[in-house]
């Protein structure tokens, strides 16, 4: 077995330390079984069997209280809500600035910019997070190869993308395209003649933005805020890859189901995840509910020209994210033909074979790395089944009179 081989390769002192600690670790892992035998004389045969096999059914609010009472779960809950709020602030702010530039003549070549910024729509969040770590991780092309090895200005062990900052960066890049679509739709429906009239009446640029453009954008902003908040709160891939020691509730749910088979606690946490989203949605609905927003479905673009400083700033912002998105996708190409990124730059096509690295060289022992395209085809089969079902549902909604 792999564990026996790994233990045999250890020095004698380390092997002895593991032999001493292993029984205690095993008991702690299966403390439920030890507890069952400790109270066996006080339980009936059926109760003892249920407790030992973890099939004892109990009812109550203990699992709901655990999210508040348990320090680890409480930390995960605080992290989830905090990261969601920060991601809302960064993603919605950046998206709104870019959308404003695209629809108000503030960004050069808006069609090309829009197409590049929407590229992450073709991939789930995990590839974006993975490529981000390939650029800015401990063995990242920028943080390790360039900054540490070439320039010697920082250490990749301390200056890297892992942690809360990495999660926010990955989530911002992952959620930016959908946020752009929501805000772009709201901005395009605005009647630009209102802005022209405000300028003709003597309104300044800030007054125009604060009193006309921003209030008319509120319905789209509200939807974007709720969308990003829910996406961040339920995000599993980005915290898993970039989170390091930052627990979040979505990851706790995964661990409780796959690692501990603790479905009741996982279900309670799932219900807890709904609460912040409902509170935020209710608060946003209450805010400004007495106001009325009128938009022209056809949309009449404003013809006034943005100041040079605004055009330079918005073009620079959009250009930065365009370059970052392109870099993220380009780095996947060399990463797919490199044996171990940042460590062994040997060229290999083994990852494109059904057997993975095991086809052309010794496997690495890192799980799915050695299984090649087998994992990809599983995803393709699932997508082939889900796509027609989802497409038919969307088509039915579009054809509905109220859709």
Same-domain pairing of 212 and 324: yes
Task: Tell me the chain's radius of gyration from C-alpha atoms.
Answer: 27
The domain boundary residue, chosen from 295, 317, 336: 336
Helix, strand, coil percentages in the chain from 3-state DSSP, rounded to 5: 70, 0, 25
pLDDT in tens, 296-317: 555 566 666 778 888 899 899 9
Distance CA 370, CA 353 (A): 10
Residue 392 lies in a domain: no
**Total residues belonging to the chain:** 403
How many structural domains are present in the chain? 2
Is 5 a residue whose pLDDT tops 90?
no
Asked whether residue 27 falls in the same domain as residue 104, the answer is no
The arithmetic mean of pLDDT across residues 149-168, rounded, is 83
Q: So what's the pLDDT on residue 229?
A: 93
Mean pLDDT (whole number) for 323-340: 85
- Across 277-303, average pLDDT: 70
pTM score over 0.85: no
Q: Is residue 284 situated within a structural domain?
A: yes
- Domain end (from 336, 361, 382): 336
For residues 162 and 106, membership in a common domain is answered with yes
For residue 118, which of 95, 136, 101, 140 has the smallest C-alpha distance?
95
Enclosing domain of residue 48: 18-54
pLDDT, averaged across the chain: 77
Residue 354 lies in a domain: no
CB 83 within 8 A of CB 171: yes
Do 232 and 257 share a domain, yes or no? yes
At 351-385, the pLDDT tens digits run 776 655 554 444 444 444 445 566 677 778 887 88
């Amino acid at each position: 077995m792999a564990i026996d081989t790994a233990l045999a390769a250890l020095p004698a002192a380390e092997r002895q330390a593991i032999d001493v600690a292993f029984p205690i670790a095993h008991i702690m892992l299966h403390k439920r079984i030890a507890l069952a035998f400790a109270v066996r004389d006080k339980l009936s045969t059926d109760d003892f069997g249920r407790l030992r096999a973890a099939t004892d059914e109990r009812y109550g609010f203990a699992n709901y209280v655990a999210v508040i009472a348990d320090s680890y779960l409480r930390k995960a809950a605080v992290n989830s809500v905090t990261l969601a709020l920060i991601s809302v602030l960064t993603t919605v702010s950046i998206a709104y600035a870019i959308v404003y530039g695209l629809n108000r003549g503030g960004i050069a070549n808006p069609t090309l910019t829009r197409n590049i910024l929407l590229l992450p729509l073709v991939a789930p969040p995990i590839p974006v997070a993975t490529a981000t770590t390939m650029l800015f991780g401990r063995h990242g092309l920028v943080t390790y190869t360039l900054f540490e090895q070439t320039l010697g200005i920082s250490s990749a062990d301390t200056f890297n993308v892992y942690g809360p900052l990495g999660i926010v960066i990955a989530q911002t890049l992952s959620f930016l395209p959908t946020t752009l679509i929501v805000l772009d739709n709201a901005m395009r429906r605005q009647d630009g003649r209102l802005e022209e009239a405000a300028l003709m009446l003597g309104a300044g640029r800030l007054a125009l933005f604060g009193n006309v453009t921003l209030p008319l954008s509120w319905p789209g902003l509200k939807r974007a805020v709720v969308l990003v908040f829910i996406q961040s709160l339920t995000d599993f891939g980005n915290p898993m890859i970039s989170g390091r020691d930052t627990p979040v509730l979505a990851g706790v749910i995964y661990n409780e189901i796959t690692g501990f088979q603790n479905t009741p606690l996982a279900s309670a946490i799932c219900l807890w995840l709904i609460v912040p989203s409902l509170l935020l949605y209710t608060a946003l609905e209450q805010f400004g509910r007495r106001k009325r927003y009128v938009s022209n479905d056809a949309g009449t673009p404003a013809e006034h020209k943005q100041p040079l400083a605004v055009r330079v700033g918005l073009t620079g912002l959009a250009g930065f994210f365009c370059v970052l998105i392109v870099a993220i996708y380009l780095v996947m190409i060399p990463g797919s033909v490199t044996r171990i990124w940042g460590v062994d730059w040997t060229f290999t096509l083994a990852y494109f074979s059904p057997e993975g690295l095991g086809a052309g060289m010794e496997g690495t022992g890192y799980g799915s790395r050695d299984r090649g395209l087998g994992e990809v085809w599983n995803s393709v089969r699932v997508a082939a089944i889900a796509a027609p079902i989802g497409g038919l549902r969307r088509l039915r909604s579009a054809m509905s009179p109220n859709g």
